[in-house]
Amino acid sequence: MATPRNHPSLAEQVEELLAADGPLPIVTAGDPVLRRGTERFDGQLDSALLARFVEALRVTMHAAPGVGLAAPQVGVALRIAVIEDPAPVPEEVRLARGRVPQPFRVLVNPAYEPLGAERAAFFEGCLSVPGWQAVVARAAEVRLTGEDEHGRPVDEVFSGWPARIVQHETDHLDGTLYLDRAELRSLSSNEAMAQRWTRPTPHEAAEALGFELP
């Protein structure tokens, strides 16, 4: 009699994902893995497998392309995300949105808390919700705590666009999608974004679509 196969461990699941070369498939909204929340990373992957997984997340984020990717977005319910933003944007956009370059970082067991009451509202999108963008008001500045990929403690303040990225990615690890926090009346297709909402701030969109900005 065959022994029933146990639920694969996270390590087995990651090994299986990494068996194919190249970018990993990105799961999209509607997949429960994006809603379940994640296990804290506590050595479920040994250091060699963790390094390979982080590299696969980096390759997948670049290929998409995106400025952040959380493990649940490739179907892995672990509290790990990567971020990187070369910020190839015009000066006026950089100034209005604080979109400064963010070097590659691995966030392990991250958590954030707002610093101060200032909010910033801009259009953002998500690789797991392809084709759409919406305005999200987020804390302008946050304190991020957690670890890096080597287990070293992280305690750092993020502002501008990098603050938005770390909030978006950390939210993924708690089963939250940006749409949960968005002004739904701002929801715009990529086509509408390219045609209409290319200005550095969403003020015109707020007036035309009828939503509030902080």
Give me the active site residues, please. Answer: 169
Of the pair 126, 136, the CB lying nearest Zn ion is at: 126
**How many Å apart are CA 68 and CA 53, to the nearest integer?**
15
Of the pair 51, 187, the CB lying nearest Zn ion is at: 187
- 42: Cα separation from own chain's centroid: 21
CB of 126 to Zn ion, least distance (A): 3
Of the pair 134, 139, the CB lying nearest Zn ion is at: 134
Q: Mask of contacts with Zn ion, 111-130, x by CB under 5 A?
A: ---------------x----
The tokens for 134 are: 């919406």
Q: Which residues of 68-85 are buried (b: 16+ CB within 10 A; e: fewer)?
A: bbbbbbbbbbbbbbbbbb
Asked whether position 26 contacts Zn ion by CB under 5 A, the answer is no
Residue nearest Zn ion by beta-carbon distance: 126
Neighbours of 102 (CB within 10 A): 20
CB of 69 to Zn ion, least distance (A): 8
Run of H or E including 97: helix 91-97
CB of 27 to Zn ion, least distance (A): 11
Neighbours of 64 (CB within 10 A): 15
Which residues of the chain form contacts with Zn ion (CB under 5 A)?
Answer: 126
